[in-house]
A and B are shown apart, each in its own frame.
Chain A
Amino acid sequence: MSTPATESAPQTGRSTKAGYRGTKVRRQRVRAAWTFLTPMLVALVLVAGWPLLRTFYLSLTDASLSDTAGAAWIGFENYLVYDNGAWYGLLTDPVWWNSVWNTVYFSLVSVSLEVVFGIIVALLLNAEFKGRMLVRAAVLIPWAIPTIVSAKMWAWMLNDQFGIINHLLMTLGLIDAPLAWTADADLSMWAVIMVDVWKTIPFVALLVLAALQMLPKDCYEAAEVDGIHPVKVFFRVTLPLITPALLVAVIFRLLDALRVFDVIYVLTSNSTSTMTMSIYARQQLVEFQDVGYGSAASTLLFLIIALAVVIYLYLGRRQLGVDQ
């Protein structure tokens, strides 16, 4: 809050009463702002802040799911421990590092595809044509379908024996024998990416479309009068103007992708070829009941995502408008 003196300084022509009124209103507004924020902040502490701290703590204990209160402190043994001439712990587990790599690979590939296709769909929806509303509604359908449902729908379409995708590919002569999309280690990651991209293109397209519709019409008219090629107009005018919306879309998608769980859980279960960090951590926590070890995995997942966010914020700080 800047000082009231500088606020009322330019208003020298007005009476002192108006200046006083300004500061009173200001103070009232700031007080109201904090009152309005309190319930939200309390809720966030209860569901986010405190549980996160507990997860950090539990990762340093030998807690099990049935008894988290009576856990004993074991330091960093869940992460790394030297015992009988060999190193043990999460940091030496090849399955964990495999799941880290899977997560990063999945996130980068699926978000890139979603952004490219999302922009294309948004540009299409922004154009004038008959039945545009119908197409717009149709495009939103994948977005409205629950993730579990879309995973099941695709699992059925990708079914190795009776799936329509194998049927189509064989009819077209592209493959000779049916592919085991969700069981084959080489294909299952692509199957998962395919489903995720299908599901989330509308989200990106919706945000980009909203940005497109706020663009000033006059620069486009000017560009058209000057006879500039539409592709050039897109990269020089449209893209810079929609960048803030795009960055918001990318950050939400990227964070979603890095913690991906449900689509993979349903499509390929606990298979190592698609196991992500979330799947690994939950398997330790719930199925193996090892809260200490699982919390260690959760903590590392948190740190990796935090690192990604810091890098992202650093790169996109200006555009995000947080520090305006």
Chain B
Amino acid sequence: MNQYQLIKLAKQLGKWALIAVVMVYAIFPFYYAVITSLKPSSELFQVDFWLSSVDFSNYIQIFTQKSFVRAIFNSIFISLSVVFIALLLGITASYALGRVRFRGRTTVMLTLLGVSMFPQVAVLSGLFEVIRTLNLYNNPGGLILSYTIFTLPFTVWVLTTFMRQLPMELEEAAIMDGATPWETIIKVFLPLMWPAMATTGLLAFIAAWNEFLFALTFTLTDDQRTVPVAIALISGGSQHELPWGPIMAASVTVTVPLVILVMIFQRRIVSGLTAGAVKG
């Protein structure tokens, strides 16, 4: 009995130790970036684990830079457009792939998988030509177009998996009522799919927000940059004199909205994955 209790206690201790390690590992780099960004440049090079005073000079420095503010708006506009397009095309395509049996379905699924494996570099020169031909070089449109290459296959793939898991009865009822496929999607699947759409939409948003290679290659001037490129290109006098304070301030600025978004959506992401059943 005593031994049993001891084992139980050890297990509890082990579990909480693991939780603590995971928490510190996940949060610390971000926490350290926040601390660094709030230090004056004179204290930058001494290692501190806590903040003794708060100094906003790094933030003032980046927000008075027009190109950085512009980059934030570019990123927001591009990411939202990408999410909208991916979900619109994704929900209809996933209905077709997940609910309808037709010849060529496997081929389309394999094509999707094939496209999702496309290394971005493999299409770089071809896509550069397409974008230049469409007059979208150094333009948000070019990035929105090129980002569908990685958001669309992923969105369709995940939404199709969700669509397949929904019970057949739902759709049979809609068919008996004489609903067209479009009405079935809008009235039956959309209300049930929104947790899945939130998940995939968030994934698409983050993927678009994070994208670097296309944004670096298909834009030329500072006013067309997205946030990742703007941050990567912040430079000091030489390679060894990077302005770490402003870099961390910019990093924290673009990360905080995403972290908040994830905090809000995480419950839905996780519980949404298990939700969805016929009621009544």
Contact = CB atoms under 8 A, between A and B. Distances in A.
B27 interface: yes
B212 A262 contact: yes
Nearest to B19: A135
B103 A1 contact: yes
Nearest to A160: B240
Contacts of B29: 142, 150, 153-154, 157, 198
Contacts of A143: 206, 262
B186 interface: no
Contacts of B111: 44
Given A44-B115, A51-B127, A137 B262 contact: yes
Interface in A39-57: 39-41, 43-44, 46-48, 50-55
B102 A33 contact: yes
Contacts of A262: 210, 212-213, 228
B126 A144 contact: no
Contact of B122 (A1, A133, A302): A302
Contacts of A322: 106, 109-110, 113
Contact of B274 (A154, A198, A210, A282): A210
B125 A55 contact: yes
Nearest to A309: B117
B254 A138 contact: no
Interface stretch (B1-9, B59-67, B265-273): B265-273
Interface in A148-168: 148-150, 152-154, 156-157, 159, 161-162, 164, 167
Interface in B1-44: 15-16, 18-19, 22-23, 25-27, 29-30, 32-33, 36, 44
A305 B120 CA distance: 12
A302 B119 CA distance: 6
A121 interface: yes
Contacts of A142: 26, 29-30
Contact of B26 (A139, A278, A302, A305): A139
B135 interface: no
A164 B96 contact: no
Interface string B139-169: 0000001101100111010000000000000
Residue in A52, A144, A285, A295 with the greatest tally of chain B CB atoms within 10 Å: A144
Interface of B: 15-16, 18-19, 22-23, 25-27, 29-30, 32-33, 36, 44-47, 85, 89-90, 92-93, 95-97, 99-103, 106, 108-130, 145-146, 148-149, 152-154, 156, 175, 180-182, 206, 209-210, 212-213, 217, 227-229, 231-232, 244, 247-248, 251, 254-255, 258-259, 261-263, 266-267, 269-270, 273-274
26 contacts: A28-B180, A30-B102, A40-B89, A40-B156, A44-B115, A44-B149, A50-B130, A51-B123, A124-B15, A124-B22, A141-B26, A142-B29, A142-B30, A146-B258, A148-B231, A149-B231, A162-B47, A164-B47, A202-B26, A206-B270, A210-B270, A252-B154, A278-B121, A298-B121, A298-B124, A302-B118
